[in-house]
Structure 1
Amino acid sequence: MKKRTRISGLFLVITGATFWGVGGTVAQKLFQQYEIDVNWLVSTRLLIAGILLLLVQSFKGISTKVFDVWKNKCSAVQLIIFGLFGMLAVQYTYMASIKYGNAAVATLLQYLSPVIIIIYLILRKRNVITRHELLTVTLALTGCFFILTNGSISGLSVPKHAIICGVLSGIALAFYTLYAVSLLKKYDSLVIVGWAMIIGSVGLSFVHSPWQMDFMHLPAKAYFYIIFVIIFGTMIAFWFYIESLQSLSPQETSLLGSLEPLAAVLTTVFWLKEHFGLFQWFGMACIIGMIVILALGKKAS
Structure 2
Amino acid sequence: MNQNIKGICFTVVGGCCWGMSGVMGKYLFDAKDLTATWLVTVRLLGAGITMLLFLYQFKGKSIFFVWKRKDSAISQMIFGIIGMAMCQMTFFLAIQESNPGTATVIQYSAPILIMVLFAFVEKRFPKKEEVFVLIIVVIGIFLLATHGSVKNLVITHAALFWGLLSAGAFAVYNVQPRKLIQEFGTLETVGWGMLIGGILVTPFTKVWNVPGHWDIVTVSMTIGVVFLGTIVSFSCYLHGISMLGPVQGSMLGCVEPLVATILSATVLGQAFGMIDVVGILCIVGAVTALTVVDA
Q: Same fold (TM over 0.5)?
A: yes
Q: For 1:26, which of 24, 32, 35 is the aligned residue? A: 24
Deviations for 1:100-153, whole angstroms, at most 9, x for unmatched residues? 111111111111211111112222222122122112201211111111112233
Whether 2:263 is the aligned partner of 1:267: answer yes
Aligned counterpart, 2:107:
110
- Pairwise CA distance, 1:214: 5.3
Residue in structure 1 matching 2:47, options 46, 49, 55: 49
**More displaced 10-residue stretch of structure 1: 219-228 or 145-154:** 145-154
Q: How far 1:298 moved relative to its partner? A: 3.0
How far apart are the structure 1 equivalents of 2:219 and 2:126?
49
Matched, 1:186 2:204: no
Offset of residue 5 of structure 1: 2.8
Match of 1:177 in 2: 174
Structure 1 residues 207 and 13 mapped into 2: Cα distance closer, same or farther (>3 Å)?
same
- 2: CA distance between counterparts of 1:194 and 1:298? 29
Give TM-score, length-normalised by structure 1: 0.93
Seq. identity, %: 30
Q: Which moved more, 1:66-75 or 1:83-92?
A: 66-75
TM-score (ref. length: structure 2)? 0.95
Instruction: String of CA shifts for 1:144-203, please: whole Å, max 9, x gaps.
Output: 111111223330111110000000001111122221122122110000000000000001
The answer on 1:166 being equivalent to 2:163 is yes
Structure 1 segment 129-140 matched on structure 2, within 5 A: 129-140=126-137
Decide whether aligned partners of structure 1 residues 65 and 298 sit closer, same or farther in structure 2, where only a CA change above 3 A counts.
farther
**Which of residues 290, 294, 298 in structure 1 aligns to 2:290?**
294
- Deviation string for 1:228-281 (max 9, x for gaps)? 111111111111111112311111111100000001100011110111111110
Unaligned runs of 5+ in 1: none
Matching residue's letter, 2:221: Y
Give the counterpart of 2:56 among 58, 76, 91: 58
**Given that residues 112 and 287 in structure 2 are in contact (C-alpha distance below 8 angstroms), is that contact kept between their aligned partners in structure 1?**
no
Q: What is residue 97 of structure 1 aligned with on the other side?
A: 94
Instruction: Give the 3 Å change call, closer, same or farther, for CA 298–65 of structure 1 in structure 2.
Output: farther
Q: Residue by residue, what CA displacement relative to the aligned partner does 1:207-233 show, whole Å, maximum 9, x if unpaired? A: 124433157x41211111111111111
- Inter-partner Cα distance in structure 1 for 2:238 and 2:112: 22
In structure 2, what is the Cα distance between the partners aligned to 1:288 and 1:214?
A: 35
Partner of 2:117: 120
Q: Match of 1:219?
A: 215
* Equivalenced residues, count: 295
Secondary structure of the structure 1 residue equivalent to 2:28: helix
Trace 1:216-255 onto structure 2 (pairs within 5 A): 217-255=213-251
Provide the alpha-carbon RMSD of the alignment. 1.5
For 2:211 and 2:111, locate their aligned partners in 1 and report how far apart those are by CA, in whole Å: 39
Q: Secondary structure at the match of 1:247?
A: helix
